[in-house]
Amino acid sequence: MFAKYLHQKGAILILTALLLPMLICGTGLAVDLGNIYVQKTRLQNTTDAAALAGANAYAVNNEKINHHPYADDKANQYIQGDYHNLNTDENISIKKTAELHKKNVTFYNVELSKEVPLYFLKIFYDKDTFTVPAKSTAAITYKGEPSSNNPFKNLFTFTKDLTTQNVLNFDPNNKTIFTTFDGNIVYTNGTGTNQPSFRPNTLLYNNADDRDAKAFYPSETKGKNANAPDVSAKGFTAQYQNLNLYSYANQLKEKYSKTTQYSNRENDNFWLSANAIDKTEYYIKNAQQAVIDLSQNTNKISNTPINITIDSAAEPKIYINNNSSNENQPIIYTYLGKNEIKFEGSGGSFYGIIYAPYAKVYCNDNNFKFHGSIVSESIRLEANGAQYYFKDYSKYLPISGDESSSSTGSQNSGNYTVSLV
């Protein structure tokens, strides 16, 4: 009965031989494509998180499309940093960019790629790895005018002069970067009238012995050679913005115009030591000297910074030294006079805002660290090895509200949304 099938003995071997390449290919598809899918999902989730975090940091720190170190640093934390979604030993290609999409909308992009090894498909793909890409874009949508209309959203904002010294050493062949700047540096005519052709009287990036220096450098370049291509590419220049530097001063004058309780007798010396601070707001009507001595840490008497407004003084000064750090209680230091404010001392850190729209701010403190913003008519920096970091303290200004923080009155801190697109 089964004789007619006997001639088919061994057919299964032939079928197996014929189907084996297909079985191998199917296994390769299951293993390699499955691995590619898993890696793609990991990369995409990471780019989404990094783009959102970076975009928020971009908006908070009022960064620019061609200079956004805070956004990039925050994005890196979500890629392979403190909050990493990917292992730190993975070889990941990372690209971060920002672009102006349309008025009041900025895109922050994060692109990642990884070479994923192939086990079976390399027989057919003719490569040992497959490039898996992922890209995410987060949109920063500002309500009203962008927050750059706020002069306190920049590291430095000035109207007449900005001169720096000891940014680089004097060796023309080895321009080591001494002093660094993390934040926007902006010049303006100060009136809120848009004049893009406006130029300051002086904008000197380094001392007169090295006028080849045409850029500021962020902290990541400190100690490196400014001539190195990867370092020089990170240098940035001062930019123009349409800002009103005087409206806030006028509001302060109005606020204190009927004040009879002063922190000092008129024409007396005012000297406030860190360990003697006992309230969060000081107003000095008139003084010969107006000195803030931060040679010791401030007493933390509340959760709000200390607001010090000086109507006029012949010698406004801030003393600091290696022990100085008012990080726990930042200082909003406002000077409405026309004399020079001096940082004196050696080393230490200052946290807060220096607002002097009619005066010059002079920093001559080696290894000094400044965290906050300076808004002034003129700024003169002669410190060797100083580091300046923008930090947003504008919400702690004594007069709050949109009208005091923006030249248009339509944008204040946090008035934006961030979303994936």
> Which residue, of 128, 145, 162, is where some domain finishes?
145
134 and 167 together in one domain: no
Same domain, 204 and 279: yes
Question: Which carries the bigger pLDDT value, residue 189 or residue 266?
Answer: 189
Mean pLDDT of 410-421: 63
Amino acid at 89: D
Q: Do 221 and 333 belong to one domain?
A: yes
Q: Which of 92, 121, 145 delimits the end of a domain?
A: 145
- The answer to whether residue 384 scores a pLDDT higher than 60 is yes
In a domain, 420, yes or no: no
Residue at 372 is within a domain: yes
Q: Is residue 294 part of a domain?
A: yes
Q: Whole-number mean pLDDT of the chain?
A: 80
User: Which residues form the domain of 238?
Assistant: 151-405
Q: Is 416 within the bounds of a domain?
A: no
Q: Are residues 348 and 219 in the same domain?
A: yes
Q: Would you state the structure tokens that stand for residue 292, as one six-digit string?
A: 């803030």
pLDDT in tens, 304-355: 788 889 888 888 888 777 777 788 788 999 999 999 998 877 778 889 999 9
pLDDT for 143 equals 67
In a shared domain, residues 367 and 222: yes
For 41, list phi and psi in degrees, rounded to 5.
Answer: -65, -45
Task: For residues 132 and 155, state if they share a domain.
Answer: no
Note whether 297 and 386 are same-domain residues.
yes
**The total number of structural domains that make up the chain:** 2
Q: What is the pLDDT of residues 161-187, one digit of tens each?
A: 998 887 887 677 778 888 999 999 999
Give per-residue pLDDT as tens, 55-87. 988 887 767 788 888 889 899 999 998 888 888
pLDDT at 137: 95
Give me the pLDDT at residue 416, please: 76
pLDDT value at 414 more than 70: no
- Per DSSP, what are the bridge partners of residue 279? none
What per-residue confidence (pLDDT) applies to 168? 81
Residue 299 domain flag: yes
Tokens encoding 138: 């987060």
| Full-model pTM | 0.64
**pLDDT at residue number 296:** 67
CA 176/CA 399 separation, integer angstroms: 42
User: Is the same domain home to 179 and 33?
Assistant: no
What is the pLDDT, as a whole number, of residue 155? 94
Residues 63 and 155 in one domain: no
